[in-house]
Structure 1
Amino acid sequence: MHEACSIVCNSGHAHRTGESAGQRRLGPAADRPPRPAVRRRRAGRRAGAATATALGRDRAAPPAAAPAAAAVAHHGARQSGLTYRQLPSTRLLALDLPVDATRDTLRGLLAGLDKVLAAASAGTLADPRLSGAAPVSSLAAVGAALAARLKLDLPAELADLPAFPGDRLDPARSGGDLLLQVSAEHPWTVGVLTEHLVSAAKPAAVRWSQAGFLPPVPGGETPRNLFGFKDGTANPDAADPGLWNADGTILVYRRIRMDTAAFAALPTAGQELAMGRRLTTGAPLTGTAERDDPDIYAKHPDGSYIIPADSHVRLSSPRLDGGARMLRRGYSYDDGPADRGLLFCAFMRDPALFTRVQNRLAEKDALTPFLTHNASAVAWVLPGSRPDRPLGATL
């Protein structure tokens, strides 16, 4: 019917009132194919329409550029590496100063690093490879050994950790006079910034360097570690006053190799009992939602704990330490199939808290057979800087 109507309209015939489609007859002119002139006019109209469409596409405005990422404020009471959200790509860098370094050497070196970090955060560091690289966050910390060597006036709690059962620490991957961390959205940015930091830190030498990452997650969700569990659910807020001492705090770093293949071989129920949380939701075994507070004293009718006595969640519970908490901002690392795991970075006023927790975990944590601690460091995270007062100016 559509085809017949089109031919009738184009041939100039009008419909007779009262006739149905079946009653209408096409005249001799309608039965003939269109004349050449008609065909040429139709072809011209089709070609013109196609040309107009193509021109419309050519003249269309280009897609709007993505808005530039906001720069991270470098200057402030506290360093951006702790106050800004965790960025997905990071590098930890440990530096050793010359043995004859003085406090003036340290202050001058920190001032040079502060200049680089401030420019990187503002997006003004002179390097074409960093075009559009914001945001960038960073922190700088003074190692416990250097603080003792230079007799710096830092909190008495700053001290190296004791040995823990099962530690397999590599001295070449541990310690350091200065610890730096720079984080960004992409490893490319982190790598370029590392070059600038190493150059600005001379005459200090690199002791060790370690890259880390977070898995891609929807905004606001807790990232997962390489065992597949959510990691960082029960964190305090970074503004918690219990973490800070005059706008500085203490970093405890541990490099923990994870035997992911052996852990994955456990049935899901066994993994959840070892962790004390559900694999899919992150909820504690005593709750239904990720943020539910784990009830480490709840029991089954037979008297056994719902969250097992040897589970990771129970042994690391703040309830066993009078409610004291550490801020965990860990990253995964992947240095090859046989060396993958967690870069445990935790911040607290007193590393004695970590010592208590780690002693409990080393003694009976169900995860211990799947973990190897192979590097460690403790450092004082300096207060933030100002344009007129660089990092370390008050040391």
Structure 2
Amino acid sequence: MTDPTPPDGQPSRGVSRRGVLGLAAVAAAGTAVGFGTGRATSSGADDPRRGSHAFHGDHQAGITTPVQQHLYFASLDMTAGASREDLVSLLQDWTAAAAQLTAGQEVGESGATDGSPLAPPDDTGEALGLGPHNLTLTFGLGASLFDREGDPFGIAARRPEALTPLPSFAFDLLEDAISDGDLCIQACADDPQVVVHAIRNLSRIAFGRAQVRWTRLGYGRTSRTDAGQQTPRNLFGFKDGTANILSDDAEALDRWVWASDGWMAGGSYLVARTIQMTIESWDRTRLQEQELVIGRTKGEGAPLSGGTEMTEPDFAMRSSTGDFAVPSTSHVRLAHPDLNDGVRLLRRGYNYVDGNNDLGQITAGLFFLSFQRDPAQFVQIQTALKTDALNEYIRHVGSALYAVPPGARRGEHIAQALFES
């Protein structure tokens, strides 16, 4: 199948520079993966650098796409005095750049090396020769974008009812500096340089219209969205996301992930939570206690009621002491759909490490990402976790909620329906 990266490994330029040839390459890449499916091209099986996902489609890629190994997430705020025209032009420019980036191309007309020597290059160049590495770019809109005083963007009346700031939860220690934001970009790929390059260039494009509020660099996925993927482990050493919604479960996606109302039809809502883990305390906890806190065995990942990783927990089973085999305060029990009116989320979390604090303790944890058709799903589950024994070992320090519009079709820009009457 056609791939946008030439045999010499150097990425092609954008459409405007290559003209018809560039357009054909992007179109071929989109055809190869299937419109709106976000599946990787078969070339990725032979060379991971060449795997790619179509940017255009019915839904944004980066939701049901098989979870990649690396993440760079950015929250941005529109600049003071920015207008509706600034917002629309930014979304148009991001759409064009995202189509180039996910196809493994350089950004702009002249890329990193072919422009005027007297002007900054269109592309920063650190991803030259790397290929797309299954890059996906997912864009979201925060509640604050609709709440600006004076409604400078003319969208206040079109704010989705579901896009309401999340309530305060037990044990929240949220920091404003790593919470919320007008806009977000989720970049996921199987190469760390590729995701950094994407966010760097999209942030650069936003200059004068929006600026970065906070970012999170993640590595090592902690969820799976594809049946062919192994269940990964979080930094506590336990398998995470065993019961996650998978990309081939169309019924579950329609019921729990895809929104259906107005301009958000085909979109979703993204919850992003920075969950800091008290690594040192956990590492000094007995294995038996760790397993009771989680509700699963650490090795196999099986529920404490028995079986294998994929065995459904038996919440009625009792141990020889008369207690529930899966403790009443265990994370698995409190978060399970059976005890939450069947509510499910699609998770795409990542581990993160931010170095050490002044006491030499590791600053690390889980960057929790979930997609749902209504944020009330997350609220219900998070509220149920109030008595979770895991709360002794974690701190929720960052939080954000975004409306993720449906995918942009060719010739459209991100969230175009929001601005149409």
Q: TM-score scaled by structure 1? A: 0.79
Offset of residue 83 of structure 1? 2.8
Partner residue in 1 for 2:370: 346
Whole-Å Cα distance in 1 between the matches of residues 397 and 372 of structure 2? 21
Partner residue in 1 for 2:34: none
Partner residue in 1 for 2:102: 121
Offset of residue 165 of structure 1? 2.0
Partner residue in 2 for 1:380: 403
Matched, 1:360 2:384: yes
Secondary structure, aligned partner of 1:104: helix
1:174 to 174, 179, 187: 179
Whole-Å Cα distance in 2 between the matches of residues 341 and 68 of structure 1? 28
Partner residue in 1 for 2:258: 244
Whole-Å Cα distance in 2 between the matches of residues 152 and 105 of structure 1? 19
Partner residue in 2 for 1:334: 353
Offset of residue 226 of structure 1? 0.2
Offset of residue 66 of structure 1? 4.7
> Higher mean Cα deviation, 114-123 or 150-159?
150-159
Partner residue in 2 for 1:90: 71
Partner residue in 1 for 2:93: 112
1:1-395 alignment runs, 5 A limit? 66=47, 69-125=50-106, 126-127=111-112, 128-130=125-127, 131-134=129-132, 135-149=134-148, 150-151=155-156, 153-202=158-207, 203-214=209-220, 220-238=229-247, 239=250, 240-242=253-255, 243-245=257-259, 246-300=265-319, 302-337=321-356, 338-361=362-385, 363-395=386-418
Offset of residue 216 of structure 1? 10
Offset of residue 152 of structure 1? 5.1
Secondary structure, aligned partner of 2:195: helix
Whole-Å Cα distance in 1 between the matches of residues 160 and 339 of structure 2? 25
Which one-letter code corresponds to 2:147 in the other structure? A
Whole-Å Cα distance in 2 between the matches of residues 183 and 294 of structure 1? 32
Offset of residue 352 of structure 1? 1.7
After superposition, the CA RMSD in angstroms is: 2.1
CA contact (8 A) 2:70 2:221 kept: no
Whole-Å Cα distance in 2 between the matches of residues 317 and 217 of structure 1? 15
Task: Rate the CA distance shift 1:95–1:67 in 2: closer, same or farther, 3 A.
Answer: closer
Which one-letter code corresponds to 2:204 in the other structure? S
Q: Which has the larger radius of gyration?
A: 1
CA contact (8 A) 2:178 2:398 kept: yes
Whole-Å Cα distance in 1 between the matches of residues 222 and 321 of structure 2? 41
Deviations 1:87-114 (A, max 9, x none): 1111110100024334433222111111
CA contact (8 A) 1:332 1:341 kept: yes
Secondary structure, aligned partner of 2:402: strand
CA contact (8 A) 1:72 1:80 kept: yes
CA contact (8 A) 2:235 2:365 kept: yes
CA contact (8 A) 1:111 1:392 kept: no
CA contact (8 A) 2:222 2:351 kept: no
Offset of residue 140 of structure 1? 0.2
Which one-letter code corresponds to 2:278 in the other structure? D
Partner residue in 2 for 1:60: none
Whole-Å Cα distance in 2 between the matches of residues 152 and 253 of structure 1? 25
> Higher mean Cα deviation, 252-261 or 101-110?
101-110
Whole-Å Cα distance in 2 between the matches of residues 216 and 304 of structure 1? 30
Offset of residue 303 of structure 1? 3.7
Task: Rate the CA distance shift 1:114–1:277 in 2: closer, same or farther, 3 A.
Answer: same
Task: Rate the CA distance shift 1:259–1:68 in 2: closer, same or farther, 3 A.
Answer: closer
Deviations 1:234-269 (A, max 9, x none): 101244102111111101111010012211211111
Secondary structure, aligned partner of 2:401: strand
Q: TM-score scaled by structure 2? A: 0.74
Task: Rate the CA distance shift 1:206–1:371 in 2: closer, same or farther, 3 A.
Answer: same
Deviations 1:356-385 (A, max 9, x none): 222222x31111111011100000011111
CA contact (8 A) 2:223 2:241 kept: no
The unaligned stretches of length 5 or more in structure 1 are 1-64
> Higher mean Cα deviation, 146-155 or 119-128?
146-155
